[in-house]
Amino acid sequence: MKFSAQQIAGLLNGQIEGDPNAKIWKLSKIEEGEIGSISFLANPKYTHFIYSTHASLVIVNKDLILTGPVSATLIRVDSAEIAFSKLLEMYNQVKLNKSGISKHAYISESAKIGTNIYAGEFAVIGDNVKIGNHVKIYPQVVIGENSVIGDNTTLFAGVKIYSETVIGKDCMIHSGTVIGSDGFRFNPQNDNQKIPQIGNVIVEDNVEIGANCAIDRATLGSTILRKGVKLDNLIHIAHNVEIGENCYLAAGVVIAGSTKIGKNCMFSGQVGVIGHLEIADHTMITAQSGISKSITKKGEVMMGSPAFEATKYRKTYIHFRNLDSLVKKVDALDKKSKKEN
């Protein structure tokens, strides 16, 4: 699909400098610009590329002062970065605007399907499933019986939704993620017999879950991801965990069973949290930290394994790095003391 500089300028409320009929049909970095592409310049470090780029259109700030000839048509806006982000969002909406049900998809007769849904090849929608309006179900997605999917939610290729799962509106779940698999519960006093997991998973509105995550169903009750939660790739959420509104969890985070996490928390990569803890609102945890006890004070920054308050951790780490020289000093004092005695 081709667009002219004039059309792009109209969308961004920008001013054209160059050929208003210049055509673009793809996006590029400014240093990798090709004929037919559009790019942007916001970081002064990349200013020199404006004179050599082959991009047909470049979005720039209104106050950019040129010191040489430029072959690209420019679109001047108040903020090139914000304008290009807006363009990316529109591009993404067009790219993901799929509709229609493939003849190779399976939809149970008892399922209730909303309007304007997309179901790709070999998607499976089980018995008594309820699908809202404008839902996108990519190829090889499986939605188990009695599940509910809210309006405007997207399930990318290969997502597996076990039975009884409830997913809200405006959610996005990326490829390979499994929601509703059994919690890890066995009885060591009875030959490690598996404990049945008969709860479910509830994902509230405006949640995004990255690729290859596993969200376990509850033993009883529900595992819950509250509104606005954002999960990176490769995250495991165990049975009966509850994650509060607007929490951000980076890749590799593991939350053990029955832990309750407050609102607006941020966990960096590879954080591990043991089970049955409570984490207060606004907690921040640095990468590779291990949380072994509840955090009751709001707004704490935690670091280390086992984790404790970050400023104390940094001071302690300074002493740890000096430990070898301190040991040598103690040994020297000990030898001196023995000689004097």
Please list the active-site residues. Answer: 239
Check if the beta carbon of residue 187 is closer than 8 Å to that of residue 209.
Answer: no
Instruction: List b or e across 133-171, with b for residues whose CB sees 16 or more CB atoms inside 10 angstroms.
Output: ebbbbbbbbbbbebbbbbbbbbbbbbbbbbbbbbbbbbb
d(CA 309, CA 131): 45
Helix (H) or strand (E) holding 137: strand 136-137
Q: Which residues, listed in sequence order, are joined to residue 57 by a DSSP beta bridge?
A: 38, 73
Neighbour count for residue 220 (Cβ, 10 Å) = 12
Q: What angle is formed at CA 60 by the lines to CA 58 and CA 61, rounded to 5 degrees?
A: 170
Question: Which residue, 241, 293, 291, 285, is CA-closest to 267?
Answer: 285
Residue 188 backbone dihedrals phi, psi, to 5 degrees: -70, -15
Cβ neighbours of 340 (radius 10 Å):
6
